Structure 1
Amino acid sequence: MTCPSLIRRSPVGSVREGRPQAPEALQQAGQLVALLRERLRQDDAGAQFARYVVVGVVSSALYALVFIALQVAGDQAANLAGAIASTLLANELHRRLTFHAGGQVSWFTAQWEGGGLAGIGLVATSLALAGVHALIGDVGTVPQLALIAAVTGAIGLVRFVALRSWVFSAGPRG
């Protein structure tokens, strides 16, 4: 005797209760990934900004790894080494991936100009921390990290515009 639930079973890949079954869902996911990849390969500001954010996450992860690995040498040395390593990686990824400028901008130019912009960001966060300490005093780790995140985010937006319009612009370089 056949079980009644087997008689009413729908074929694989069909829609049951409004939800696509596994093969159809995988196909839709693959199409979505293909559309996203195509969108991110474009050179408009939106696609470049999305790639910029991804590079920022990757280079921040490198910073964290270097900082943790070198903390035995002291916080300042670990911070400096992490900043240098993450900036070198970020500038190269921005040159090649974010702005597709590998053929127009040399490695040295990207490092020099992009590194200068990163240095300005480092100075800005240092000044913000010093200002808070001068005005309020010791505020604790969490507020300091929040301040650094806010300043870094603002500097990151300015840096994106500067990299896009100055360092990796498609226009003639002087």
Structure 2
Amino acid sequence: MAVVYPADPGMGMTPEPESAASTEPEQTVTTRLRGAFGLIGDYLRSDRWLAQLIRFALVGGFSNIGYFLLFTACYGSGPQLANLIGSVVSTAIANELHRRLTFHAADRVGWLTAQIEGGGLALAGLAITSAALALLDVVAPGMGDIAEAIAVIVITAAVGTLRFLSLRLWVF
């Protein structure tokens, strides 16, 4: 693809176009990459359920990192207080990010509504996870560390899925 520059009236001459042979392969690859990344970006910003699920997982991951950092920073005040602060702050931030980014609902759902309903779902998820782990301890008390870790991952994934569906279908 040759680049043609408009004539510069002050100079009285027109620049010569660049050689098509030297720049075309590079421009074609660059153009294709921009096009592919543009399509992926457009899809990830869409309101399709898979795009929302990907954004939901990213927000959740960053929320967990934020929780860990807050917990670590507040641990000197005791683990219970550190857990409370980390949970409340990271949940509030995640609810706001879900409202604005995951579900594009900033114009439909107010901040307080998102915090109350999203926070209620977070508490329900905590209760379900705690109950499932307690039941697991009663049903399979001799479970090994690896099996228990896998069970925690499965339970947490199930609760996360329920939270995503509840937020998508009910809250936002």
Q: What's the TM-score, normalizing by structure 1?
A: 0.74
Q: Distance in 2 between matches of 1:125 and 1:77?
A: 20
Checking the alignment, whether the CA contact within 8 Å between 1:128 and 1:147 is kept in structure 2 is no
The number of residue pairs the alignment matches comes to: 152
Question: What SS does structure 2 have at the residue aligned with 1:94?
Answer: helix
Question: What SS does structure 2 have at the residue aligned with 1:152?
Answer: helix
The letter of the residue matching 2:134 is A
Sequence identity of aligned pairs in percent?
Answer: 41
Q: Against the structure 1 CA distance between its residues 139 and 71, is the aligned structure 2 distance closer, same or farther, given a 3 Å change threshold?
A: farther
1:72 aligns with 2:76: yes
The letter of the residue matching 1:152 is T
The letter of the residue matching 1:135 is V
1:57 aligns with 2:61: yes
Q: Against the structure 1 CA distance between its residues 144 and 98, is the aligned structure 2 distance closer, same or farther, given a 3 Å change threshold?
A: same
Deviation at 1:142, TM superposition (A): 5.1
Deviation at 1:148, TM superposition (A): 2.9
CA shift digits 1:36-76 (9 cap, x unpaired): 11111211212211211111111111112112222333333
Deviation at 1:149, TM superposition (A): 2.4
Q: 1:103 aligns with which of 75, 100, 107?
A: 107
Q: Distance in 2 between matches of 1:48 and 1:90?
A: 14
Q: Distance in 2 between matches of 1:64 and 1:142?
A: 22
- Runs of at least 5 residues in structure 2 that lack an aligned partner in the other structure: 1-20
Question: What SS does structure 1 have at the residue aligned with 2:112?
Answer: helix
Which has the greater radius of gyration?
Answer: 2
CA shift digits 1:90-127 (9 cap, x unpaired): 11011111111101111000000011001011111211
Q: Distance in 2 between matches of 1:13 and 1:128?
A: 60
Q: Distance in 1 between matches of 2:56 and 2:47?
A: 12
Q: Aligned Cα RMSD in Å?
A: 2.4
Q: Which stretch has the larger CA shift, 40-49 or 100-109?
A: 40-49
The letter of the residue matching 2:156 is T
